């Protein structure tokens, strides 16, 4: 008897957004009756970076960012035994405490969900053509490539 390969999980959402993100909203779109696990990640703007206070971040995206984030989500959905995957990245000005990156995956079991989620976050951070400008309380700023 040969084992059948399950079809690739669906990409429930992949996009770049100027409006605030909610991790719970992405968790809701990946819910599936076949899933025993939903794993989420929220990348939050923190009030410091490398020992320096931060008051906010501005994210700018290359025009191809929408295509790249969809490509990454599709690859994760095909490579892992998932029911669904969703990922969203903010663009524009964000204050400390706001969600910059929201991810959710659903799978039959938690191990598969956690493994896929970690790879999703890592691949978005590695490949998404987004630049961030950190703003410091004294009004100065610093650019860095990639999110």
Q: Quote the Cα angle for 101-65-126, to 5°.
A: 60
Mind listing the pLDDT tens digit for each residue in 30-83? 999 999 999 999 999 999 999 999 999 999 999 999 999 999 999 999 999 999
2: in domain = no
Q: How many domains does the chain have?
A: 1
Q: Please, how many CA atoms are within 13 Å of residue 143, restricted to the half-sphere of its CB? A: 5
Which residues form the domain of 90? 10-145
5: in domain = no
Place of tokens 């923190």: 46
141: in domain = yes
3: in domain = no
* Four-CA torsion 145, 113, 102, 130, nearest 10 degrees: 20
pLDDT at site 144: 87
What CATH number is attached to the domain comprising 74?
A: 3.90.1170.40
pLDDT tier at 7 (50, 70, 90 boundaries)?
low
Which ranges constitute the DSSP H helices of the chain? 23-30, 65-79, 110-127
Place of tokens 């719970």: 24
Supply the pTM of this predicted model.
0.92
pLDDT at site 94: 98
30: in domain = yes
């Amino acid at each position: 008897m040969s084992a059948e390969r399950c079809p690739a999980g669906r990409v429930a959402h992949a996009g770049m957004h100027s409006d605030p993100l909610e991790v719970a909203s992405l968790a809701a779109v990946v819910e599936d009756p076949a899933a025993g696990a939903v794993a989420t990640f929220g990348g939050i703007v923190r009030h410091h970076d490398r020992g320096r206070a931060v008051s906010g971040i501005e994210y700018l995206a290359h025009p191809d960012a929408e295509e790249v984030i969809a490509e990454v989500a599709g690859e994760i959905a095909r490579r892992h035994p998932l029911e669904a995957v969703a990922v969203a990245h903010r663009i524009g000005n964000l204050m400390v405490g706001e969600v910059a990156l929201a991810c959710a995956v659903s799978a039959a079991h938690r191990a598969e969900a956690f493994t896929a989620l970690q790879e999703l976050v890592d691949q978005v951070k590695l490949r998404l053509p987004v630049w961030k400008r950190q703003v410091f309380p004294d009004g100065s700023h610093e650019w860095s490539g990639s999110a």
